[in-house]
Amino acid sequence: INAALCLPLLPLLCSFGSIWAQKRLGNARFPLDPSIHTGKLANGIAYYIVEDKSSPGEVVVQYITRSGAANDKSPEAAHILEHILARKSSDIPINNHIINAVTRPDATYYRYQLGSAEGQVMEALMTFRKWMDQKANISNGVFSTEKSVVREEYRMKAFRNPAEAELMEFFFQGSMVPKQKMKRDMELTTVAHVMDFYRRWYHPRYSAVTIVGDVKRSDAEKWIKQTFAGLAAGSVSEANSVAMV
């Protein structure tokens, strides 16, 4: 995808990435780029839209839940769930789509690179709706496979970039599950732990959707409201969370 298409996302991603800093700064807020159109549905879903014609026929659709590794009750439950949902998304009948996903301490991101046709964008949005409607099912086989992938990711990361591994261990000091404990105890995490994390956090009240690219803002906003407006907000997790910007 054209790098220019991703540029409008930078202020948005910085805003999400700054949630931890905002908590430390009290009520301070970082303003969004004026090209970003934003809104919030009654059930709590925040949405962000950027109409960008620099890459004709291309759209990036993203789902964010403001829950991540720092919210884990069991080692790597958030990360394993991210792998499972991203893998299951490959079953969606979207032609030539590309998906990438990442788990951060305070959020989890799922990103689709699509064509700009309404059908493709709606397929991605309907996938997000299914997740937030608590319709995802996780088999033991898929769980075991993706748990092995996560284990290998950490092995390779520690081998290729030991400085980053040490930095992450430092970052997680004082959190619910320190990073070094995650590495040691990940084998204790079961499919039931992952489903518990999913049920606690994948609700509209903790979610955001972004659409960026060759799409009319009015169309994108209509599709978002059409897809998600009927969802219930979901229960409030007992874990600490912060408001979307």
What SS3 string covers the chain? CCHHHHCCHHHHHHHHHCHHHHHHCCCCCCCCCCCCEEEECCCCCEEEEEECCCCCCEEEEEEEECCCHHHCCCCCHHHHHHHHHHHHHHHCCCCCCEEEEEECCCCEEEEEEEECCHHHHHHHHHHHHHHHCCCCCCCHHHHHHHHHHHHHHHHHHHHHCHHHHHHHHHHCCCCCCCHHHHHHHHHHCCHHHHHHHHHHHCCHHHEEEEEEECCCHHHHHHHHHHHHCCCCCCCCCCCCCCCCC
Sign of the CA dihedral running 60, 244, 192, 184: positive
Residue whose pair of structure tokens reads 């995650």 in the numeric block: 182
Q: Sign of the CA dihedral 106, 193, 134, 110? A: positive
Give me the residue label for tokens 């903790």.
206
Q: Are 177 and 166 in contact (CB under 8 A)?
A: no
d(CA 18, CA 102): 16
Q: For each of the chain's 245 residues, which pLDDT tens digit applies?
A: 454 455 445 444 454 444 444 445 455 667 778 889 999 999 999 999 999 999 899 999 999 999 998 888 888 899 999 999 887 655 554 445 667 899 988 899 999 888 878 888 998 999 899 999 888 888 888 889 888 888 887 766 654 556 655 665 565 554 444 444 455 567 888 999 999 999 999 999 999 999 999 999 999 999 999 999 988 887 665 444 333 33
Query: What pLDDT does 175 receive?
Result: 47
Give the pair of three-digit tokens for residue 135: 């319709």
User: Quick check: 215 and 60 in contact, CB under 8 A?
Assistant: no
Tokens of 75: 């080692």
